[in-house]
């Protein structure tokens, strides 16, 4: 439903139109200019942003100060032909109603798309936090208790963390040194701290 019109012969105090003018970027979801059967485009009363398709349905979005300047831009920069309108000087009431609906629909669609993008951003942020929390949950008991059980390494936990952080497990050296292994061993003998052939060893403080 379109809000009450701002007054006969004017769109200058129509809120959706003012929002359209004051945005730094083209509103989301704006449709490109489509040519009519005569190969002409219709530039709406009050338009200031170029809706020419510059490839892949991407809009030019150049901003100008008047509809006349926009018409010149469309002709010279995009080779378009602009339909003549009889409602440019003093628009009729029915035509203004069409104009109000045009800008109202533009900003209404923009608001819906912006809200959807915001929800997506929030969900992505939530997933990033959850993923980091999962890594931290695996990391904490390992970093504080690597050698907690009778001096033995918690190999399973350590390898799980490496997987979560995106490292190769087993590393090249462990694959070569241990037949059919699916984990890194950090060193063959837990009592031999001089053996550092495992490439994953650098990710852990194993000297203590």
pTM over 0.75: no
Which residues in 50-80 are b (16+ Cβ under 10 Å) and which e? bbbeeeeeebbebbbeebeebbebbeeebeb
Residues in the chain: 208
Do residues 161 and 139 lie in contact, with contact meaning Cβ atoms separated by under 8 Å?
A: yes
Do residues 8 and 90 lie in contact, with contact meaning Cβ atoms separated by under 8 Å?
A: no
126: how many CB neighbours lie within 10 A of its CB?
A: 10
Spell out the domain ranges in the chain. 15-120, 145-203
Per-residue pLDDT of the chain (208 residues; tens, 9 = 90+): 445 444 445 788 899 999 999 999 999 999 999 999 999 999 999 999 999 999 888 899 999 999 999 999 999 999 999 998 766 667 788 888 999 999 999 999 999 999 999 888 888 888 788 777 767 666 554 544 445 444 456 677 777 777 777 788 888 888 888 888 888 877 655 455 445 678 777 776 554 4
167: how many CB neighbours lie within 10 A of its CB?
A: 14
The pLDDT tens digits for 57-72 are: 889 999 999 999 999 9
């Amino acid at each position: 439903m379109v809000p009450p019109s701002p007054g006969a012969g004017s769109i200058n105090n129509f809120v959706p139109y003012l929002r359209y003018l004051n945005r730094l970027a083209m509103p989301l979801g704006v449709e490109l200019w489509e040519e009519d059967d005569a190969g002409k485009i219709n530039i709406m009363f009050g338009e200031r942003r170029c809706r020419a398709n510059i490839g892949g349905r991407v809009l030019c979005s150049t901003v100008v100060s008047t509809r006349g300047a926009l018409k010149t831009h469309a002709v010279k920069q995009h080779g378009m032909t602009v339909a003549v309108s009889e409602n440019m000087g003093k628009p009729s009431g029915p035509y203004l109603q069409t104009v109000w609906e045009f800008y109202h629909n533009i900003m209404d669609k923009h608001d819906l798309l912006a809200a959807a993008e915001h929800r997506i951003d929030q969900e992505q942020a939530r997933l990033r936090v959850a993923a980091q929390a999962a890594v931290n949950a695996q990391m904490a008991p390992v970093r504080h208790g690597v050698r907690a059980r009778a001096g033995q390494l918690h190999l399973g936990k350590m390898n799980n963390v490496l997987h979560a952080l995106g490292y190769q497990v087993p590393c090249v050296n462990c694959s070569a040194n241990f037949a059919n292994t699916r984990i890194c061993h950090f060193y063959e003998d837990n009592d031999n701290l001089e053996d550092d052939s495992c490439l994953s060893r650098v990710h852990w403080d194993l000297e203590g």
